[in-house]
Amino acid sequence: MKEKLKKRIFQIIEFNNDKDCLDRICNGVIVTLIFLNLIVLCLETVDSIGAKYQILFERFDCFSLGIFTIEYILGIWSCTVDKRFRHPIGGRVRYMLTPLALLDFIAIAPSYLPILFPELRAFRSIRLLRLLRILKLTRYSDALRSMLKVFVAKSEEIIIAFFMLFILLFIASSLIYFAEHEVQAEAFPDIPSSMWWGVTTLTTVGYGDVYPVAPLGKLVGALVAILGIGIFALPAGILASGFSEEIRAKQTRRRPKLVVVCPHCGKPLNEFPAHRSKQ
């Protein structure tokens, strides 16, 4: 009975089965709670509404936190029915380190910080960390789950691309410092300060608050702006390739397999070894 209950809970939490009525209801409740939390977070920033309904908002936050925490704990408790997490301790730790379980933890952990550390309640920015609850939508949205899979699958390439971007940013900031420091000591006082110009130029935003005036500085700025277009296209190309691969993989999984049946015995032909043609 206990194992049957654990299996049922794990199926509801981990698998989205549109044909299961209870699964649809549970998923609908959680998704509704997530969106209501986002609405409440927005309304709290309106002084006239936030002050009037502060107690109501706090109670709703406690209720939502309780539901999300129960869901997280039930997932850890029931995960041992899966053969990947069979071990009662090591399996649960392995489950807690899965991407979706980590997102669930990140969604609830900030709300416990003011409870564990009361001095943090004075910081309003801590309350904004509840925005992380939107990450829980990844569990209930096929599109967001696909996005997470793509980021995980292409994480190495994305890290390499951003590492190249950092190297280019450092080189550009160093070159513009040596080219412009004597002319604009206040705008380019040191290399770390010059990185602001490097970021705005590489992203081709160019706020105009800091810009080169020396001929060599203008040359460096033009080269950096041109390189920035190409270097920022790298992560976009990697993600586009990843999404294309994920879509093809989904289509392959959904496509029904064609089974050729032997006309004599009625068994699928793929059960027999391939016959070699005689020369």
pLDDT number for residue 267: 66
CB-count burial class (<10 Å; 0-12, 13-18, 19+) for 113: middle
Mean of pLDDT values over 30-41: 89
Mean per-residue pLDDT of the chain: 82
Q: Give the model confidence (pLDDT) of 163-176 as tens digits.
A: 988 998 999 999 99
pLDDT score for 231: 80
Task: Give the pLDDT band (50/70/90) at residue 271.
Answer: very low
Pair of tokens at residue 269: 């032909």
Residue 268 has pLDDT above 90, yes or no: no
Please name which of 156, 127, 153, 140 lies closest in space to residue 38, comparing C-alpha atoms: 127
CB 75 within 8 A of CB 103: no
- Can you list the domains of the chain with their CATH numbers? 2-140 (1.20.120.350), 156-254 (1.10.287.70)
Whole-number Å distance between alpha carbons of 11 and 30: 15
Higher-pLDDT residue of 157, 134: 157
* pLDDT at residue 279 greater than cutoff 70: no
Q: Looking at the predicted structure, is the pLDDT value of residue 276 above 50?
A: no
Q: Per-residue DSSP letters for 104-153?
A: HHHHHHHHHHHHH-GGGGG-HHHHHGGGGGGGGHHHH-HHHHHHHHHHHH
Average pLDDT over residues 64-92: 91
What local confidence, expressed as pLDDT, does residue 241 receive? Answer: 87
pLDDT at 247 over 50: yes
